[in-house]
Amino acid sequence: MTLNLKETLLSIPKWIIICSLIGIFSGSASALFLVSLEWVTQFRMQHDWIIWLLPFGGFLVGLSYYYWGESVVKGNNLLLEEYENPKKVIPFRMAPLVLLGTLITHLFGGSAGREGTAVQMGGAIADQFTKIFKLHNSERKILIILGISAGFASVFGTPLAGAIFALEVLYFSKINLKSTVLSFLVAYAAYFTVEFWEIKHTHYSIPIIPELSFNNIIFTIIVGILSGFAALLFARSTHFWGSLFSKNIKYPPLRPVIGGVVLAVAFAGFGLTKFSGLGVPVIVDSFSNANQWYDFLLKILFTGFTLGAGFKGGEVTPLFFVGATLGSALSLIIPMPIALLAGIGFVAVFSGATHTPIACTIMGMELFGIAPGIFIAIACTIAYFSSGSIGIYKSQIVKGAKYRLYQRLNSNF
């Protein structure tokens, strides 16, 4: 028996234990987060006056990160940076800070998501095992993959997509069979942990699937292109507002205060509360009722502004909102079932914004079933190529086919 084979066999029990612990702890953290998020969301919907206190909530979030969260304020980008160039273990404080910051954001009505919170909690929890098991940098990279996988799989109830997303968002850089197997293992451990806590995820349905005709393929490609453009606009909007706030307001805790004033006036003063919070009811409704053509644009604006101002949360559920409402609105001019168009947009915009077409295709089939899979795959691939080279994660390194395509385009021009 060779030395490498012997070391591999001896490490199997260690990694099974690590995956189990990360899955249980991350899944439990996501379960707590989902229960808490549902409670603050229901409270806000029953007491909509609380939106006027959004500037106060912003001040709490801003102060907490200013005094205790400077080392973790980069959020998901910190995970990507530590994977690419490991320096030091991610402070555990990232988990409680992003949890509380996101709950405050949603309690007072900020437009944000939840995947960023779950992924950051998963990443912070996973990286603590570096010290416990005295792992070196190459093994620490695996921990970051496991944290992302566990967080994503548990918060959305999509273990296959979670496992692949963790690998694909890193562009399969230095990914090996060991990382892949462990990513799936921890994703299912986290998923079943949430199931154990009896947490329910939102269910969507696409009851009518048309035939795979030439016309329907062309329509799907059109939806994919528009979804890619929406993803590009979403990413640029988030980066624009973040840069604008940081350049013009030097005292960080003041940024979400000013942002909160603007958002409170827009949401409560102008009756635009459907764009506050996660927006899940709007997403669900878009599968059966056509949205206004501008709904997806307003969600892009408010989410970019919310996150750019310094509030906490993720981008993925707002991306679902953008994609579903865009697809729903397109049902007025594209002769395909509204639920299918909403479902295609749901995952295609996400694909373009995160450069993860494989994970998004798998996620679409986990959420909507196998039947619309070919339409979803086409749209996610087209959106991936049409969304530009900049995604929602600034520290994400773009590689693969898309990277080579844009290199050729840049060299030609």
* CB contact at 8 A, 190 and 182: no
Per-residue tokens: 151: 């967080």
This prediction's pTM = 0.95
Q: What's 396's DSSP letter? A: P
Can you say whether the dihedral through the CA atoms of 161, 166, 169, 175 is positive or negative?
negative
- Helix pair 338-354, 316-330: axis angle to 10 deg: 140
pLDDT value of residue 3: 46
Mean pLDDT in runs of 10 for the chain (413 residues)?
57 93 98 97 96 98 96 95 92 98 98 95 97 90 96 97 95 76 97 96 94 97 98 97 96 98 97 96 97 98 98 95 98 98 98 96 97 98 92 78 58 57
Q: How many Cβ atoms are within 10 Å of 138's Cβ, its own excluded?
A: 11
Q: Which amino acid, one-letter code, is at 33?
A: F
Rg (CA), the chain: 21
pLDDT value of residue 343: 98
Output b/e per residue, 156-188; b: 16+ Cβ within 10 A: bbbbbbbbbbbbbbbbeeebeeebbebbbbbbb
Q: How many Cβ atoms are within 10 Å of 192's Cβ, its own excluded?
A: 16
DSSP string for residues in 194-206: HHHTTPPPP----
Domains annotated for the chain, with CATH where assigned, are: 7-196 (1.10.3080.10), 214-412 (1.10.3080.10)
Selection from 188, 117, 178 nearest residue 157 by Cα:
188
189/373 Cα distance (integer angstroms)? 25
Q: Which amino acid, one-letter code, is at 209?
A: I
Can you say whether the dihedral through the CA atoms of 181, 182, 183, 185 is positive or negative?
positive
Which residues have C-beta within 8 Å of that of residue 22, sequence separation ≥ 6? 122, 125, 126, 129, 143, 146, 147, 150, 186, 189, 190
Q: How many Cβ atoms are within 10 Å of 131's Cβ, its own excluded?
A: 10
332/310 Cα distance (integer angstroms)? 36
